Amino acid sequence: MNSVNLIGRWTRDPEMRFTQNGKALTKVSIAVNRTFGEGADFFEVVIWGKIAENTAQYTKKGSKVGIEGRLQQETWEKDGQKRSKVVIVAERVEFLDNKNSQSNPNNEIDGFQAIDDDDDIPF
Amino acid sequence: MNSVNLIGRWTRDPEMRFTQNGKALTKVSIAVNRTFGEGADFFEVVIWGKIAENTAQYTKKGSKVGIEGRLQQETWEKDGQKRSKVVIVAERVEFLDNKNSQSNPNNEIDGFQAIDDDDDIPF
Amino acid sequence: MNSVNLIGRWTRDPEMRFTQNGKALTKVSIAVNRTFGEGADFFEVVIWGKIAENTAQYTKKGSKVGIEGRLQQETWEKDGQKRSKVVIVAERVEFLDNKNSQSNPNNEIDGFQAIDDDDDIPF
Amino acid sequence: MNSVNLIGRWTRDPEMRFTQNGKALTKVSIAVNRTFGEGADFFEVVIWGKIAENTAQYTKKGSKVGIEGRLQQETWEKDGQKRSKVVIVAERVEFLDNKNSQSNPNNEIDGFQAIDDDDDIPF
DNA sequence: TTTT
DNA sequence: TTTT
């Protein structure tokens, strides 16, 4: 079991690219406010596939989002040193800014996005 | 382990009362939209203590909220029949309507509310 | 967002069947102990696909499991009355009885089972 | 909202100490197996209060546990460089080794431990 | 209806 | 009984 749920705001615009095998990959950072209003924690978020595309397209720095995902340890080498950090792999991203509820009455982009990209999800 | 995380909207105004021992108790129902936009699920939510008061004071029918809590089985008797249902006991409620972000720059009621007033530890 | 995480024990043997479209469906009930040892809550669990098969094959009444899933409201009619109840749709089931850690050194069935076999809806 | 749920095993013995203000603090590291059996992720876990004491007393390297908690960003300075890492603050720890289910039929230490230390929780 |  |  490895499950994470967060609500927060992007601290910068989501950056999307395609990997060599053609899969969309978005990286972004989230600010999660602490319970009693004293500051925030900042985490790195990694998103794959169709929701990576949707997130890059429909959200930006400051957007409020809800995330369902899991924790992952990323490891790499730098100067012969093993380094590692914890990131959140988002499996669902819910867009929580209802600014567009006027202009988007059907709420099509508000709500969870599908996990996968290699398929058919209407979006 | 018993952990639930939801984002949704109240389907009616939260109803608060005080129990005999003076503890605030709010009951409300939440609509949680399904992933692919096809309908919603409706759940009953029970809130205790200070967040019960805050929820009743600052949210209403239609308010968007994030909930951290746990599942609980409520049981009772009716006509000599044992009945039971599942409710969510919310230990934190995050108010997600940023309408008030203008009028409430310090964001005091936006964000998680403390669990406790002055009593026992629910967590 | 709709996310549930539980640890508990099956209160009865998982019952598996295949739906008309050939998808495995397992129903079972879980007992989740409360924090301070006073009793338990009982919830109904619904499992689809390959993990439905694995759960039916490798677990039984009394098995300890961890569940990742989501809440779902089931509705039906009885005597012209609309009825409804809350169930947990398990998207992952982790088998926590390490009795078999001897006989199953590779731990292949201990740990999360994949959600799907070969089809739609990864989540 | 900031919620994490994990099942895994301690990679080393939990190390407990008391802070200056007399609060118990346990640090430990957890290995969480990936879904399809390919490897594990390793995370640092921080535990406060009574459950810090219980965890140090009743678990050790290799113990299987379930954790409910939240993510926290720890920051510090090293060589004039700002550094930061993500840790899990465990608010509940469930002991999942049922070795003692024989010798401990009442299961008193199996199950969640309370969060706080400044009180009375029977344990 | 209930698990350990 | 239901929210947007």
Asked whether the predicted pLDDT for residue B114 surpasses 70, the reply is: no
Digit-coded pLDDT (tens) for C7-19: 999 999 999 999 9
Instruction: Say what the pLDDT of residue C81 is.
Output: 85
pTM value? Answer: 0.85
d(CA D123, CA D121): 6
- Condensed to tens digits (0 to 9), the pLDDT of residues D19-61 reads 999 999 999 999 999 988 789 999 999 999 999 999 999 999 9
In this prediction, residue C110 carries a pLDDT of: 39
Res C68: pLDDT:
98
What pLDDT is attached to residue B37? Answer: 75
Within 16-55 of chain B, which residues have Cβ less than 7 Å from strand F?
29, 31, 33, 39-40, 42, 44
* Cβ pair D94:B1 closer than 8 A: yes
Give me chain B's average pLDDT, please. 83
- Tokens 């129990």 locate to B19
Q: H/E element holding C11?
A: none
Span D58-82, pLDDT tens digits: 999 999 999 999 999 999 999 999 9
Check residue B99 and give its pLDDT: 55
- For residues D11 and D36, the answer to whether their CB atoms sit within 8 Å is no
Q: Residue D34 is encoded by which pair of tokens? A: 């990936």
Contact predicate B118/B22, CB 8 Å: no
CA distance A98 to A107: 9
Give me the mean pLDDT over the A57-70 stretch: 97
DSSP-derived letter for residue A13 is -
- Residue C99: the pLDDT is 55
Q: State what percent of residues in chain A have pLDDT above 90.
A: 76
How confident is the model at residue D49, as a pLDDT?
Answer: 97
A64 touches chain B (CB under 8 A): yes
Under 8 Å CB-to-CB from C94, ≥6 apart: which residues?
Answer: A1, C65, C66, C67, C110, C111, C112, C113, D7
CA B23 – C1' F3 distance (Å)?
Answer: 28
Minimum-distance residue to E2 (CA–C1'): C11
* Distance measured from the CA of protein residue D23 to the C1' of nucleotide F3, in angstroms: 44
More confident residue, D99 or B6: B6
Domains of chain A, CATH where assigned = 4-95 (2.40.50.140)
Q: Which residue reads 């600014």 in tokens?
A: A99
User: Nearest nucleotide to B73 by CA–C1' distance?
Assistant: E2
Q: Apex CA D74: angle with CA D33 and CA A72, to 5°? A: 25
Residues of chain C positioned with their CB less than 8 A from the CB of B5: 1-4
- Is C36 an interface residue toward D (CB < 8 Å)? yes
Which residues from C are below 8 Å from A96, CB to CB? none
Q: Is A38 exposed, middle or buried (0-12, 13-18, 19+ CB in 10 A)?
A: exposed
The string of pLDDT tens digits covering residues C32-82 is: 999 887 899 999 999 999 999 999 999 999 999 999 999 999 998 888 888
As a whole number of angstroms, the distance between CA D65 and CA C94 comes to 13
> How many angstroms separate the CA of residue D64 from the nearest CA in chain A?
12
Query: Is C112 an 8 Å CB contact of chain A?
Result: yes
The beta strands (E) that lie in C1-123 are given as 2-10, 15-18, 24-33, 40-48, 64-78, 81-95
Nearest to B7 among A35, A66, A114 (CB): A66
CA distance B52 to B25: 6
pLDDT, tens digit, 9 for 90 and up, residues A96-123: 996 544 333 333 444 444 333 333 222 2
Nucleotide nearest to C33 (CA to C1'): E3
Say what the pLDDT of residue D48 is: 97
Q: Which residue has the tokens 């998982």?
A: C14
Q: What average pLDDT does chain A have?
A: 84
